[in-house]
Amino acid sequence: MAELKKVIKLRTVISASTGMAIATSCYVAGLQVATILVGELAWISILVAGFFCLLSALCFSELTALYPTAAGIKLFIHHAFSEKTSIVIGMFYVLLGISMVGAESYLISSVLSSVFSIINPFYDKLLWTVVFILFIMAINFRGVFLSGLMQDIMTYAMVAFMVGVSVYAFATIDINFSLAAKSAKFTLENVMQAAAVGVFLYVGFEWVAPLAEETTDYKTIGKGMLWAVGLLSVTYSMFIVAMYSGLTTAQLESGTPIPHILFGKNLFGAAGLATFAVMSILASLTSFNTGILNTSRFAYAMGRDNVLPRAFSRLHPLYATPWVAILFLGTFAIAISLATLLTDMYFFVIIMAAALECFIYVVAALCVIRLRKKKPDMERSFKVPFGIVIPVVVIVVFGLLMLGIFTDVTRDYSGRELFSNYWVAVVMAIFLVCMYAYTSLVVPVYKKRAAERAQTRVKRRPGKA
């Protein structure tokens, strides 16, 4: 049976973990953080969110050290709780996670349709969405080495660009931090509320875990996640403050889905418009690429374990890539992107992704505690320090942040109410119920067929009846 190739090194682990989070949608989410708090002090909530994500990364590092496979997330939930629970949560996590492409494709298509008008805004956005997703599918189809190399170039170029622009903005824009600190909006409650949304800026850093089977050393997964969270914390803390300070009041109140493009134009004129459009392309490519790269490996593992149709476990004979999984997830991403384009509900997807991340961080921390008790003697190449203190902190903090998201109201930059966030909880609950029904009704059929195939192969062996 064909196997995945072990070619990924630490450099690519870091870029894949970082690249999932560096996306065009994060500019919008970053301004949401700045709006909830005080723009010039947004870095505080971003660093708070980053610190707690770092604690969560420690939990994922221990779990990946225990189960370094493409099905890692499903596997450690399985051993900590039960197989049914692992399938429900695993499917829920992957499908909602890939739904994030809806917000990302909406925003990048908005950028490109505003710069390159061809037919009309709707069909221009649809065209750019399909082109980008098909391009990433093609890159991933050709092999992990090519997609990994592409990820390295794009991610590190994006980080360098964002840091460089931020430094230039700080040198040319008068930013009054002391005045911002006196604002009535600068409260602990707003800091934490903004941090809850700020979790979205780190969304997907743990999605690198399914690449464990393709690394030259699985221990690089844990190291890569820690480096990625640190890199994201510094980059976003600088860029979001710079972007907020570089936009006019009218631009902030317009609720634009492309604030970074306006920021670039304000900063560098026409050259900034073109440069930031190119950077948007790179940002979306890194997110698309990492999303398809990682979720396709998870879907491949689910097919191998007879949770999804067996076809998902097929690898291309030449490139050793899970081509069926790539094809399915790319098609699903296009469908979600079309739904987002028709409804303009990209903010909804952003908030849902932040809540989903909080949920999976709580699950991961619970798994660390459970596995410490159930498998205390199992070898761990990495172990979270200070006993269960850090997992407990992760459970409490992200549990409260998730509840905070559900009970909040989402507003645009001008303060206009968009929707009540309890609808986010409703949609997530519907997804969970659907996944439970799938696990209860469909998965047993696949398991039964797999057992029958195995029995048939045994009977056909020479010397067997």
- 13 three-state secondary structure: helix
- pTM value is 0.81
Helix H, strand E, coil C: the string for 197-221 is HHHHHHCCHHHHHHHHHHECCCCHH
Considering only residues 194 and 120, tell me which one the structure prediction assigns the higher pLDDT: 194
- SS3 breakdown of the chain: % helix, strand, coil, rounded to 5? 80, 0, 20
d(CA 316, CA 147): 15
Residue 4 lies in a domain: no
Structural tokens at position 135: 């391009």
- When computed from its CA atoms, the radius of gyration of the chain, rounded to whole angstroms, is 22
Query: What's the domain range around 183?
Result: 10-460
Share the mean pLDDT of the chain. 84
What is the three-class DSSP state of 342? helix
Q: What percent of the chain has pLDDT over 90?
A: 26
Whose CA is closest to 100, among 331, 340, 328, 404?
340
Query: Which two three-digit tokens encode residue 125?
Result: 């956005």
Write out the H or E segment, with its range, that includes residue 319: none
Residues 325, 307 contacting (CB under 8 angstroms): no
CA 334, CA 125: separation in Å to the nearest integer?
12
Report in angstroms the alpha-carbon separations of 81 from 39, 41, 75, 147, 236. 42, 41, 10, 34, 36
Mean pLDDT of 418-434: 91
| Rounded Cα gap, residues 389 and 20, in angstroms | 28
Domain count, the chain: 1
Question: Distance (Å, rounded) from C-alpha 130 to C-alpha 124?
Answer: 10
**Range from 16-25, 142-151, 404-413 carrying the lowest mean pLDDT:** 142-151
Q: Average pLDDT for residues 262-275, to the nearest whole number?
A: 89
What's at 234, amino acid-wise? V
Nearest to 37 by CA among 259, 195, 186, 181: 186
239, with CB counted inside 10 A (0-12, 13-18, 19+), is: buried
Nearest to 33 by CA among 44, 24, 22, 23: 44
**pLDDT bracket for residue 145 (50, 70, 90):** low
- In this predicted structure, the answer to whether residue 170 has a pLDDT above a threshold of 80 is yes
* C-alpha span between 57 and 45 (Å, rounded): 18
pLDDT band at 4 (very low <50, low <70, confident <90, very high): low
Confirm whether 171 is domain-assigned.
yes
pLDDT tier for residue 414 given thresholds of 50, 70 and 90: low
Domain assignment present for 465:
no
- Does residue 61 or residue 122 have the better pLDDT? 61
In a domain, 5, yes or no: no
In a domain, 443, yes or no: yes
Burial class for 277, CB neighbours closer than 10 Å (0-12, 13-18, 19+): buried
The CB density around residue 25, as the number of other CB atoms within 10 Å, is 29
pLDDT at residue 108 greater than cutoff 80: no
Q: What is the CATH number of the domain that holds 83?
A: 1.20.1740.10
Does residue 2 belong to any structural domain of this protein?
Answer: no
pLDDT tens readout for residues 369-402: 999 999 988 888 889 999 999 999 999 999 988 8
- Residue 183 domain-assigned (yes or no): yes
* DSSP secondary structure, 225-253, as one string: HHHHHHHHHHHHHHHHHHHHHHS-HHHHH
| Spatial contact of 108 and 128, defined as CB atoms under 8 Å apart | yes
pLDDT number for residue 43 = 93
Confidence band of 3 (pLDDT split at 50, 70, 90): low
pLDDT at 105 exceeding the cut of 80? no
Residue 463: per-residue pLDDT: 55
Q: In this structure, which amino acid lies at residue 359?
A: F
Calculate mean pLDDT across residues 208-225. 78
Sign of CA dihedral 111, 105, 237, 259: positive
pLDDT digits (tens, 9 = 90+) for 52-98: 999 999 999 899 888 876 566 778 898 999 989 988 998 888 777 77
Tell me what the mean pLDDT of segment 106-114 comes to: 76
In 279-329, where do the E strands start and end? none
The answer to whether 1 and 188 have CB atoms below 8 angstroms apart is: no
| Residue type for position 182 | K
Residue 208 included in any domain: yes
CA 401 to chain centre: 17
Amino acid at 363: V
Residue type, 318: L
